[in-house]
Copies of this chain bind each other. A is one copy, B any other.
Amino acid sequence: MKDKVKTAAEAVSVIQDGASIMVGGFMGCGTPEILIDALVERNVRNLTIICNDAGVPGRGVGKLVSNGQVKTLIASHVGLNPEVGKRMTCEEPEDRIECILVPQGTLAERIRAGGTGLGGFLTPTGVGTIVAEGKQVLHVNGRDYLLELPLRADFALLRGTITDTFGNITYNGTTRTFNQVMAMAADHVIVGTCEIAEIGAIDPNNVMTSGIFVDSIVGGEKQWQI
């Protein structure tokens, strides 16, 4: 089988301007900083970023925002990154970010649907709110639900704790977050990992993401402070 282990620069070299990219993590915890750094270095522009939040300036997705690489941000919360607010309303079209807010549970489920071949799902979340605007409402078993559609991306950048050379991943603590569903919902998946292990080193019962989803493995991730 092909060797998936690469440098960060090699791994992100496939990402072009205008790409859609899912990034794992929650407030930076569980985000692959080394892959973000390589993406800043590569300086591709007009990206659509799908991530729980916008990180903070200088951390996680926040680095891409500060560097002006993000055109569209699909997230559940961007409040801890004031730079996003500025760019949402800025005059320069080149620096402006369009921000699409999605309830966190709906975001996770839309990504899961994208990765598991579902055409959509019915959720009670958002009924009667502005989240429902433009969406089909279905009445099932006496209750209203929004029809939410699947979400996929060209790329996913994951953050693993231990990854074997086939790409099987485990995540420690609360670094798991969106990484697990994103692994299935992107055409090309890159994992930045703290440790690269021999194939077979992870108990098959405890593999959290299968290596079949993973295209590239990059070592050197750390346990970052937030």
For residue A225, CB closer than 8 A to chain B, the reply is: no
Query: Are A119 and B117 interface neighbours, CB within 8 A?
Result: no
Q: Is the pair A145, B172 in contact by a Cβ cutoff of 8 Å?
A: no
Copies in the complex: 2
Interface residues of A in 120-143 (CB under 8 A from B): 120-124, 138, 140-141, 143
Q: Separation in Å of the A170 CB from the closest CB of chain B?
A: 7
Interface residues of A in 129-179 (CB under 8 A from B): 138, 140-141, 143, 145, 147, 149, 170-173
Q: Please count how many residues in chain A sit with their CB below 8 Å of the partner chain's CB atoms.
A: 24
| Complex: chain B residue closest to A204, CB-CB | B173
Which residues of chain B are within 8 angstroms of A118 by Cβ–Cβ distance? Answer: 109, 121-123, 145
Task: Give chain B nearest CB distance to A197 CB in angstroms.
Answer: 15
CA distance A147 to B117 in the complex (A): 13
Q: A173-B205, A206-B205 are in contact. Are A120 and B149 (CB under 8 A)?
A: no
Query: Is there contact, CB below 8 Å, between A120 and B121?
Result: yes
Q: Flag whether A113 is at the interface (Cβ < 8 A).
A: yes
A87 CB → nearest B CB, Å: 30
Is the Cβ of B119 less than 8 Å from the Cβ of A138? Answer: yes
Q: Tell which of B109, B119, B172, B205 touches A141, judged by Cβ atoms closer than 8 Å.
A: B119
A113, chain B: closest CB distance, angstroms: 7
What are the 10 A-B residue pairs with the smallest beta carbon separation, nearest first? A119-B122, A119-B145, A121-B121, A120-B122, A119-B140, A206-B206, A118-B121, A120-B140, A118-B122, A118-B123
7 contacts across the A-B interface (CB closer than 8 A): A109-B118, A118-B123, A118-B145, A119-B122, A141-B149, A170-B205, A173-B204
Given contacts A120-B122, A205-B206, 20 further A-B contacts (CB under 8 A): A109-B118, A118-B121, A118-B123, A118-B145, A119-B121, A119-B122, A119-B124, A119-B140, A119-B143, A120-B138, A120-B145, A121-B121, A138-B147, A140-B149, A141-B149, A170-B205, A171-B205, A173-B204, A173-B205, A206-B206
